[in-house]
């Protein structure tokens, strides 16, 4: 699930609307900070003893730390340096989904969103505190069902409902709330009123910030085109999962036991969704934990450790399946097929285009000597044989057959600029040279809309379908003797080597800080998703 922003100027700003005005025209705050919610939504223990507290689950998530994310901060700074004439617009658009409450309030006052003015996130200023709260309780639970699922709702174009005639602000949840509970919430949150609304559990709500289009910019801020930067929701719509699982059912797993949703007047209920927002960015959770003092992190160390471990477990069990075909020696070559299948409801990997997955394969002879290896991970997070890691101007192609150690099968998006050159600068991206990310079940690449289409040679590869991808390995064995053994692994990185290292030329605090963190953590940026042997 993405919480990284578009870092770009949008196709069209779909404003998050609705001001709250007092009886004398004075602007009243639209949101409450998460600590007002914590008071009642913690201490939630299931009969089996599991702590499913909403507040503590949330604060170790990427959602809660969206504004603290040092990679996001570094990337916004990069784009602002590359396009100084658009700096204010870039910050405004990038704050929509990473600092949504502060940005919303700024727009209500006739201003616009800022990023660096709120940093560091340890100020007592009300706007800075709202920025620090990231994607908080009060923003998601005030999004109305108006225009959900439409193009206008994307890029943070959610609608915040106006207060009712009494001045109470509706906060939406999936449960019926009794009058006594309503009064407690109105008192503790200064006028917010819980309302039962099922749209809070629909994928279209998540799509507001997790469907992102950016505008490529040329010299002087000239608009070059529209780029579909993050498309997990349209990918999901084009798959079989649209009729089976919502975003929430996967990323906010439902508690299997009866449990209270509030410790004050709470009654045991079925169907509490955990607010862990488990997804794919274990690396950032570990980075936030390691550099917690620098980044003003409020989640406890043990909470972030548990969150990162939970993310890795989720990836290992929910992301992919791997299999190896029979081994055959023909004409002095050892041959086999490796098949990888995407188990998720969108492309794998999806969302922010820094993410990549790849096959690491080793072949051993009867004496257990390695006679072939493709896709080894280096200590610095780069991949052996990957052209893009070696040279930012090149990229590794999609393969149907691998026959040498300098070839590696990588499932990734590769961006291109207006001249067709490889880039990791989002504001320069006009499209994809390569997009062979693994497809979800039911995703027909022949009928996919251009925004989610397979790009490059994978589009013509008959072995690349919604059922997965099958790639053949055919390597010389020389004088090696069997029996031969093959091990295949699927690895994953949330932030690929080139996406981090391309920030190093920028002489600014945020890129320097992030790349320092990245280098210190080394190949901890990667995790093994699944392994198969034959």
- Give the confidence band of 380 by pLDDT, cuts at 50, 70, 90: very high
Tens of pLDDT along 403-427? 999 999 999 999 999 999 999 999 9
User: Distance (Å, rounded) from C-alpha 461 to C-alpha 438?
Assistant: 12
Helix (H) or strand (E) holding 74: helix 70-82
Tens of pLDDT along 168-210? 888 999 998 877 777 777 666 667 888 899 999 999 999 999 9
Q: What pTM did the predictor assign?
A: 0.93
Positive or negative torsion for Cα 134, 311, 153, 21 = negative
Q: Could you please report the per-residue DSSP string of 304-328? A: HHHHHHHHHHHHHHHSEEEEE---E
Tens of pLDDT along 18-41? 333 343 445 567 998 898 888 889
Q: Identify the CA nearest to 316 among candidates 367, 287, 282, 290.
A: 282
User: Distance (Å, rounded) from C-alpha 327 to C-alpha 203?
Assistant: 43
End-to-end CA distance of the chain: give it in Å, rounded: 33
User: Distance (Å, rounded) from C-alpha 468 to C-alpha 466?
Assistant: 5
**Weakest mean pLDDT among 46-55, 126-135, 180-189, 388-397:** 180-189
Compute the radius of gyration of the chain from its Cα atoms.
Answer: 24
Q: Could you please report the per-residue DSSP string of 114-161? A: -SGGG-SS---SHHHHHHHT-S-HHHHTTB-STTTTSGGGTTT---BP
- 371, with CB counted inside 10 A (0-12, 13-18, 19+), is middle
User: Distance (Å, rounded) from C-alpha 105 to C-alpha 103?
Assistant: 5
User: Distance (Å, rounded) from C-alpha 7 to C-alpha 281?
Assistant: 18
Placement of tokens 């719509």 in the chain: 237
* Residue 26 DSSP code: P
Query: Residue-wise over 489-524: b if at least 16 C-beta within 10 A, else e?
Result: bbbbbbbbbbbbbbbeebeeebbebbbebbeebebe
User: Distance (Å, rounded) from C-alpha 75 to C-alpha 221?
Assistant: 18
- Give the confidence band of 265 by pLDDT, cuts at 50, 70, 90: confident
- Give the confidence band of 366 by pLDDT, cuts at 50, 70, 90: very high
Placement of tokens 């072949």 in the chain: 363
Q: Identify the CA nearest to 466 among candidates 448, 449, 450, 493.
A: 448
φ, ψ (nearest 5 deg) of residue 61: -85, 165
User: Distance (Å, rounded) from C-alpha 281 to C-alpha 493?
Assistant: 9
**Is residue 466 over pLDDT 70?**
yes
């Amino acid at each position: 699930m993405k919480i990284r922003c578009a870092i770009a100027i949008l196709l069209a700003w779909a404003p998050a609307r609705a001001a709250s005005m007092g009886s004398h025209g004075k602007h009243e705050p639209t949101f409450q900070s998460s600590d007002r919610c914590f008071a009642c939504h913690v201490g939630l223990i299931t009969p089996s003893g599991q702590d499913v507290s909403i507040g503590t689950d949330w604060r170790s998530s990427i959602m809660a730390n969206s504004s603290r994310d040092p990679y996001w901060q570094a990337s916004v700074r990069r784009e602002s340096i590359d396009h100084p004439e658009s700096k204010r617009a870039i910050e405004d658009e990038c704050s929509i989904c990473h600092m949504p409450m502060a940005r919303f309030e700024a727009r209500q006052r006739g201003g616009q969103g800022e990023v660096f003015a709120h940093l560091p996130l340890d100020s007592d200023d009300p706007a800075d505190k709202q920025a620090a709260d990231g994607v908080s309780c009060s923003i998601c639970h005030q999004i109305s069902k108006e225009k959900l699922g439409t193009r206008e709702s994307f890029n943070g174009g959610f609608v915040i409902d106006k207060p009712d005639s009494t001045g109470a602000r509706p906060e939406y949840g999936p449960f019926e709330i009794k009058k006594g509970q309503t009064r407690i919430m109105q008192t503790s949150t200064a006028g917010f009123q819980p309302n039962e609304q099922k749209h809070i559990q629909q994928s279209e709500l998540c799509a507001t910030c997790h469907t992102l289009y950016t505008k490529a910019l040329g010299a002087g801020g000239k608009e070059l085109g529209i780029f579909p930067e993050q498309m997990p929701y349209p990918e999901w719509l084009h798959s079989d999962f649209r009729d089976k699982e919502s975003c929430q059912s996967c990323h906010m797993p439902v508690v299997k036991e009866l449990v209270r949703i509030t410790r004050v007047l709470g009654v045991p209920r079925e169907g509490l969704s955990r607010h862990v927002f488990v997804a794919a960015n274990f690396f950032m959770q570990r980075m936030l934990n390691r550099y917690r003092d620098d980044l003003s992190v409020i989640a406890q160390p043990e909470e972030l450790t548990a969150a990162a471990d939970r993310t890795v477990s989720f990836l290992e069990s929910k992301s992919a399946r791997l299999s190896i075909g029979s081994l055959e020696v023909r004409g002095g070559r050892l041959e086999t097929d490796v098949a990888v299948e995407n188990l998720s409801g969108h492309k794998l990997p999806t969302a922010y285009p820094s993410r990549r997955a790849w096959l690491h394969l080793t072949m051993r002879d009867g004496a257990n000597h390695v006679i072939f290896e493709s896709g080894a991970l280096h200590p610095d997070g780069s991949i052996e044989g990957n052209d893009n890691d070696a040279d930012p101007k090149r990229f590794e192609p999609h393969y149907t057959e691998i026959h040498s150690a300098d070839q590696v099968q990588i499932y990734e998006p590769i961006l291109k600029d207006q001249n067709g050159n490889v880039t990791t600068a989002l504001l320069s991206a006009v499209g994809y040279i390569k997009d062979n990310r693994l497809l979800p079940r039911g995703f027909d690449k022949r009928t996919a809309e251009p925004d989610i289409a397979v790009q490059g040679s994978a589009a013509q590869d008959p072995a690349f379908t919604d059922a997965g991808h099958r790639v053949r390995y055919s390597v010389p064995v020389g004088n090696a003797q069997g029996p031969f053994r093959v091990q295949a692994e699927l690895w994953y990185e949330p932030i690929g080597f080139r996406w981090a290292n391309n920030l190093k030329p920028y002489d600014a605090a945020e890129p320097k800080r992030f790349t320092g963190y990245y280098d210190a953590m080394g190949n901890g940026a990667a995790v093994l998703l699944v392994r198969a042997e034959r």
